[in-house]
Amino acid sequence: MLIKILGSGCPKCNRLEQLTRDAVAELGMEATFEHVKEMDKIMAYPIMTTPALVVDEQVMVSGRMPSKDELLGWLRGR
């Protein structure tokens, strides 16, 4: 599984990455993480605001912090 965090590296972006890493660990899954900070690469995705979470090239959420339960549900579905 490839997980990308889209954002400049702001506190919310870093928090989203940590929450997602925690959820992956809780589920006992393996994933590769990328933190995409380059604006031209972020603009390649259909999002208007960051932070954004992309799992296997599918945008799961953007512009808000998902709950732990949301993260777990999305990841279980993979």
Reported confidence tier of residue 55, pLDDT bands at 50, 70, 90: very high
At 73, list the tokens.
């549900």
Per-position DSSP letters for 40-51, written without gaps between them = HHHTTSS-SSS-
Q: Is the pLDDT of residue 72 over 90?
A: yes
Predicted structure pTM score: 0.94
| CA 18 – CA 16 distance, rounded (Å) | 5
Q: Is the pLDDT of residue 65 over 90?
A: yes
The CATH superfamily holding the domain 2-76 is Glutaredoxin (3.40.30.10)
Helix (H/G/I), strand (E/B), else coil: 66:
coil
pLDDT tens digits, one per residue of 18-45: 999 999 999 999 999 999 999 999 999 9
pLDDT-above-70 percentage for the chain: 100
The catalytic site residues sit at: 10, 13
The ranges assigned to domains in the chain are 2-76
Spell out a b/e string for 16-55, using b for 16 or more CB atoms within 10 Å of the CB, else e.
bbebbeebbeeeeeebeeebbeeeeebeebebeebbbbbb
The chain-wide mean pLDDT, for the chain, equals: 96
